[in-house]
Amino acid sequence: MTFNPAPTDLSGKRCFVTGANGGIGASAAEHFAALGAQVFTTDLGDQFEGNCQSEHRGLNLLSDQGLEDCKSWIADMKPDVIFNNAAIFDMGSVLEADLAQYDRLFGVNVRAAYAVMQSAAQSMVKEGKQGSIINLASQAGHRGEALVAHYCATKAAIISYTQSAALALAPYKIRVNAISPGVIDTPMWKDVDALFAKFENKEIGQKKREVGEEVPLGYMGSPEDVARTAVFLASDQSQYITAQTISVDGGNVLR
């Protein structure tokens, strides 16, 4: 029997990362580039802050114009891989989380993510590319949390859209999967920790320490942990995987 290992090499691939200036997005872009991909990135800022070469555009995906510009760019870019990573976070129980918060979180985390996914899929079908679409979910998408009502709902929606898109695109051999991070030590955790300090009357830094200690492996994950999973889903290593949500959470969610 001949052994033919599937490559993780991404040479010749065009990989597009949204939310690229966050810890997870920047790390994913760097990993894609290190494996030979041509990397395209977007975030609110006009410059890419990661440590690799990329073609970058500053786009606000919450605005109609920013989203239209992104969709047009995808059509021109003709990507092979999308890491649909852009997202925002806020807190508030169902007694406190108002519709303005709902509109912001669903506007970025669901509406923009869906538009990016759809545009990528349309490009891949048109170009005949058997591409890979990777959506960023969260452990928050697997169960509700008392203080994170809207955010949890957005990530549950991402998991559902991933499944539906994967089934719709399977005839074109386009794979759609999601990554569900647990508690990952990114710059965003400074803001998350401050919100928990406000809502749970904790000291600054206390929540971050607690969630790390509660992980079965005993510590918070790193952006690189998520990026390595993105590389797996982008490459031929995962060519028979679609419609799945892969948890990268140190054992927090058992399914």
Going from the C-alpha of 165 to that of each of 53, 154, 169, 253, the distances in angstroms are 30, 16, 6, 24
Going from the C-alpha of 28 to that of each of 102, 189, 207, 208, the distances in angstroms are 28, 18, 26, 23
**Is 172 among the catalytic positions?**
no
Query: Model pTM?
Result: 0.94
pLDDT band at 5 (very low <50, low <70, confident <90, very high): confident
Kindly report, residue by residue over 100-154, the tens digit of the pLDDT: 999 999 999 999 999 999 999 999 999 999 999 999 999 999 999 999 999 999 9
Domain coordinates in residue numbering, the chain: 14-185+222-248
By CB atoms closer than 10 A (0-12, 13-18, 19+), residue 50 is buried
User: Would you give the DSSP letter of residue 17?
Assistant: E
Query: Would the pLDDT of 81 be above 80?
Result: yes
Q: What is the Cα–Cα distance from 43 to 38, expressed in whole angstroms? A: 17
Look at the block and give the residue holding tokens 């949390």: 145
Kindly report, residue by residue over 12-43, the tens digit of the pLDDT: 999 999 999 999 999 999 999 999 999 999 99
Going from the C-alpha of 135 to that of each of 3, 99, 173, 211, the distances in angstroms are 31, 24, 17, 24
Which residue(s) pair with 176 in the sheet?
A: 133
Kindly report, residue by residue over 149-208, the tens digit of the pLDDT: 999 999 999 999 999 999 999 999 999 999 999 999 998 888 888 988 888 888 999 999
CATH fold of the domain at 14-185+222-248: Rossmann fold (3.40.50)
Neighbours of 88 (CB within 10 A): 18
Percent of the chain with pLDDT over 90: 88
Exposure string of 110-137, with b = 16+ CB inside 10 Å and e = fewer, is: bbbbbbbbebbbebbeeeebebbbbbbb
pLDDT score of 23? 95
Catalytic residue among 151, 161, 172, 240: 151
Cβ contacts of residue 101 below 8 Å, gap of 6+?
Answer: 90, 92, 150
pLDDT score of 1? 59
